[in-house]
Structure 1
Amino acid sequence: MSAAPSAPAGAPDTGPGRRLFFVRHGETDWNVAGRLQGRRDVPLNALGRIQAAQVGRVLNQLVGDVAGVHYVSSPLSRAAETMRILRTTLDLPASTFASDIRLAEISFGRWEGQTWPELRRRDHDGVRRRDLDPWRFQPPGGESYLDLCARVEKAIADLPGDAVIVTHGGVVRAALHVLAGMPEGEAALLPVRQGAVYVVAGGVFKVAD
C-alpha cells in the first residue's frame, strides 16, 4: 500500500467520500518488448487478459456496490478489452461503460513503436533532453506530461461520482500528480503496475492488488 501527500491548492477535489479507481490496461506484447505504445492500438496478450480478470476480483473487494459506480475507459482496445473482462468478472454487462478519448495514453508521436535503446541510437539528443526534464519534454509529434495533465484533469472533472477508470500508465501518472500531489519528477518515472488498482480519495492514494 502506498500513499501520497495532500493534493496541492487548485487541484481537482475528489469530493467528500468520492473514490476513483484507476486501472492500467493488462499486458500487451509491446509491453513485453519495451516498445512505446502511446496511441498505437495494440491488443492485450494472454497474460493481459488474466490481469484484467484479476483486477475485477480486486475491485469486487474494494468497491462494495459494483453496480453503483461509473465505469469509463480509454477507447484504445487494450483498455476497452480490460474493462470488458473486469466487468464480466464483476457479473456486470461487458460492454455497458463509457469511453473518453481524453483518457487515451500520452502520445509519443514519431517515437511510437520504438524501444528506448533504439531511440537512444536514432534520436540521442531528443532522449537526452527528455532525461533532463521528462515532465515537460514533448516528443516529435507527441505530447508532454503537461499536455496530458490538462486533458486528464478535464476528464476527471466530468465524472459524476465514484468511478472505475481503465486507462494507461501515463494517464495514471498524470492523475496522481493532479489529484494526489505527487511531484512531477516522481510521477514521470513511477512504474505503474498492471493487475493493480490505484485508489484515489481525499487527496491521497493507495495501491491494491
Structure 2
Amino acid sequence: MLTLYLIRTGDTEYDGQGRIQGTLDIPLSADGRLQVQKAAQELAEQQPPISTLYTGLSRSVLQTAQLVGEQLKLKPKKLTTLGNLDHGLWQGMLVDEVRENQPKVYKRWRESPESVCPPEGETLSSAKERLQKAIDKLAKKHKEGTIALTLPRPLSAVLHSLLSQEKLVDLWHVEEEGATLWEKLSYSPEAKDD
C-alpha cells in the first residue's frame, strides 16, 4: 500500500481576495509562504519519511513544493498532470461575482460540482480522470512507501475525494484559519476496484 501526503499550496493574493485562481499563475503571498514553512516543518517530523515529492507547474504550487523540498531535502519532480482545475471564464473573478451573477449555477456548483462546467473550463470528471491516471501511474512506480503530492486548491479537494471516497462538495471553501496544509492518505489500487 502506498502512503501519500497531500500538500495543498499556501495562500496567494487571490485566496485573500476571494478570487477564483484556476490555472492562472499566481505566486504565494507572504502569509502563504509562512503557512508552507510551518507545514514543511510538520512534514519533516512524519514517519516514515517522505521519499519523493511531486508537484504541478503553477507558480504557487512550485513555490510550495520548493519550500517543502528544502525542509525534507528532496528535489520536487514536476508532473504536468497535476495542473489545477481549469475554471475557464470564471478565472480571476471573485467568488461573490459568480454567486451574484449566476446564482443558480453557483448553488449547483457548491452542492454538486460534478453537474457544472465553468464556461470554457474543464469538467470535474475530466480532472478526476486525469488525477486518477496520475495516481495509478505513481502507484505502479512506487508500489509501497511514502510520497507527497503538492496540489493547488481545488484540485487537492478532488484528490482528497478520490482517495477518501468522500462526496465532493463546495470546492471553493477555504480551509479554516490555522488548518494544516497537508493530510496523510493511503492508496491501494485493489481498494479502488472494490
Q: TM-score, normalised by structure 2?
A: 0.83
Cα-to-partner distance string for 1:8-57 (whole Å, 9 max, x where unaligned): xxxxxxx2xx2000011111110000000000000001111111111111
- The one of 176, 182, 190 aligned to 2:160: 176
2:98, 2:106 within 8 Å by CA — same for their partners in 1? yes
Report the equivalent of 2:183.
198
State the distance in 1 between where 2:153 and 2:47 align.
21
The answer to whether residue 129 in structure 2 is matched with residue 147 in structure 1 is no
- The one of 54, 62, 71 aligned to 2:53: 71
The sequence identity of aligned pairs, in percent, is 20
Gaps of 5+ in 1: 1-14, 204-209
3-state SS, counterpart of residue 19 of structure 1: strand
Report the equivalent of 1:86.
68
Report the equivalent of 1:5.
none
Segment drifting more, 164-173 vs 33-42: 164-173
3-state SS, counterpart of residue 126 of structure 2: helix
Gaps of 5+ in 2: 189-194
3-state SS, counterpart of residue 118 of structure 1: helix
Report the equivalent of 2:19.
35
Cα-to-partner distance string for 1:52-97 (whole Å, 9 max, x where unaligned): 111111111114334xx1111010010100111112122x15xx22
How far has the Cα of 1:163 moved from its partner?
Answer: 1.1
Report the equivalent of 1:167.
151
The answer to whether residue 36 in structure 2 is matched with residue 47 in structure 1 is no
Change (3 A) 1:120 1:202: closer
2:36, 2:181 within 8 Å by CA — same for their partners in 1? no
2:27, 2:60 within 8 Å by CA — same for their partners in 1? yes
Cα-to-partner distance string for 1:104-161 (whole Å, 9 max, x where unaligned): 1111100000112212333345334434532231010112222211001111112132
State the distance in 1 between where 2:97 and 2:173 align.
22
Report the equivalent of 1:108.
87
Change (3 A) 1:201 1:36: same
2:10, 2:60 within 8 Å by CA — same for their partners in 1? yes
Report the equivalent of 2:105.
126
Change (3 A) 1:107 1:132: same
Change (3 A) 1:195 1:46: farther
Q: TM-score, normalised by structure 1?
A: 0.77
